[in-house]
Chains A and B, each alone.
Chain A
Amino acid sequence: MPLVLRPKLDDTLPIEAEALRPDRLASLSLNQVTAQPVYHGNRRRTVGDCFVCEGDPADGEVVLEGDCRRVKHIGQNMTSGRITVRGAVGMHLGAEMTGGTIEVEGHAGDWVGAEMKGGMIRVRGDAGHLVGGCYRGGAAGMQGGVILVEGNCGNEVACSMRRGLIAVGGSVGDFAGLNMIAGSLFVAGGFGLRCGAGMRRGTVVALGGTAVAPALLPTFRYACRFRPQFMGIYVRQLRQWGFRVDAEAATALYARYCGDLVGLGKGEILVREAE
């Protein structure tokens, strides 16, 4: 049976729960788990003070049930194991993780997978700003792994992304792919302003077509219409993961825009086109 945690405090103070990592908890007893430190507001407390705990930590899976919107840093730095959140979750979910899987059945806050290096995060609802992004002052955002968001995301998705894959089933806000270094961002819905600003390399794919395509900066230059062969590999993999993307996206025609020419200019924005 997995380790199951239910928030028991009914207030508005955030809980910082870096301790909630299945790889660390797997070697502890249930009593030791409840004694793990967390911050409730500015007070140091324990997991047992903030959550009802039951189950077997050695299972390698942690399940959070209930409203965890105020619970932050879940899965931060995790290396293996599985976290399932049956509800909404707070900020910094899976930040800097290097392995394992996180699945959120509701919405997630800002900084989902910020600077992560491996593993997979799946959000069934919406996510906030800076998905896969870079903390202020950092050199790079996400450097590996996969983030799948079935709903919408906020601003600065894939900010300074270095490697990895982000796929968004809904829309993204402003500055998607800001200062992107490499990696791939797939968006099925619409875009906000300034998509790809400062992009060095990397790929942003507008799967939804010209109707919801980003309004491009003047520093992006149209190249051609073509059928990118790498799309076949990525679409196939996304569909295997259960991400909603039509099979025809693999062989569709895309308009390619190269940029951002204010910088290195080796990035691309691919906008799906009708045949």
Chain B
Amino acid sequence: MTAARCVVTAATDRWARTAAEAATGYGTSVIGCDAEAGIEGRVEVAESPDGRPGYRCLFFAFSRDALGKAAVGRVGQCVMTCPTTSCYDGLPEAEKKMKLGAALRYFGDRHQVSKRLGEHRYWRIPVMDGEFVCDDELGSCKAVAGGNFLILAKTQGAALAAAERAVTAIDVLPEVICPFPGGVVRSGSKVGSAYKALKASTNDAYCPTLRGVVESQLSENVGCVYEIVIDGLTLNAVCMAMRAGIEASVGEGVVRISAGNYGGQLGAHHLRLNEVMG
């Protein structure tokens, strides 16, 4: 997987968050979305490129081409359209770059202005509330997507509470996102399907209602399973996030922690839980 990071700033925290949420929406899985996306964290004013409140957003895709298209589309449609925002490259040290402002500048219809400061080139695009400022390029890097673990609990309430604790613990960590809604997956999938057209289908081995009619991985006392999926800029970041999430999820009603291994058919990295947990 390839990843990019944007820093979205705005006049207020509210609008920076609004733009970041919109830009990272519909970004759960590359199975059906153009990218996997999420908010990595808040940027304090002191660290912000322009001294305004902001959020770091991460995007992941199978290839740099796909990532570039997704980033331009998302920033163009969800950040540039949002009041008072600017968008900056969050991986300025990356060797490989993709066009961002260089593509969006044409919206300025020849009224756009280029400003070069040091190694950065920015585009100032005139818009109805003043100007939208955007970095010319976005850095990209190799990344790790699809780190995951499964929370098996006695009841839905217990499983959800455990999943929420896990996501809260992961939220504060840098370089990772949980791209699914609220960070939790209820419809975990397996590779393949009885229907030839589908690449993935419900993870029946972990569906409580199918215990007894499929080869289930669930014991009798498991009533609910939630999956936490983690994408990160590095393998180490994903491992640390998995560990933090698993440790936080353990509690009342949690029976077991497992992980999807998909028969080893999915992905270059195999993160074994016993190794992750040390």
Contact = CB atoms under 8 A, between A and B. Distances in A.
B51 A232 contact: yes
Contacts of A201: 113
Interface of A: 144, 163-165, 182, 184, 201, 203, 224, 226-230, 232-237, 247, 250-251, 266
Contacts, number: 59
Given A165-B117, A229-B130, A236 B124 contact: no
B86 interface: yes
B201 to A, nearest CB: 47
8 contacts: A163-B116, A224-B130, A226-B131, A230-B50, A230-B124, A232-B48, A234-B115, A236-B51
A232 B117 contact: no
Nearest to A228: B131
A236 B116 contact: no
A203 B115 CA distance: 9
B255 to A, nearest CB: 51
Interface residues of B, number: 23
B117 A229 contact: no
B49 to A, nearest CB: 6
A94 B276 CA distance: 56
Contacts of A230: 50, 115, 122, 124, 131, 133
In the A-B complex, list the 7 residue pairs whose CB atoms are closest, starting with the nearest: A232-B50, A226-B130, A229-B133, A232-B51, A233-B50, A229-B86, A250-B51
Contacts of A224: 130
A205 B124 CA distance: 16
Contacts of B115: 184, 203, 230, 234
A229 B131 contact: yes
A233 B49 contact: yes
Nearest to A256: B130
A182 to B, nearest CB: 7
B234 interface: no
Given A229-B124, A230-B122, A235 B133 contact: no
A153 to B, nearest CB: 21
Contact of A233 (B122, B130, B132): B122
Contacts of A236: 49-51
B51 A251 contact: yes
B156 interface: no
Given A226-B129, A237-B117, 4 more contacts: A182-B114, A230-B50, A230-B115, A236-B49
A224 B124 CA distance: 16
A67 B49 CA distance: 41
B52 interface: yes
Contacts of B48: 232
Contact of B50 (A164, A165, A182, A229): A229
B116 to A, nearest CB: 6
A234 B122 CA distance: 11
Interface in B60-104: 84, 86
A235 B50 CA distance: 8
Interface string B112-126: 011111100010100
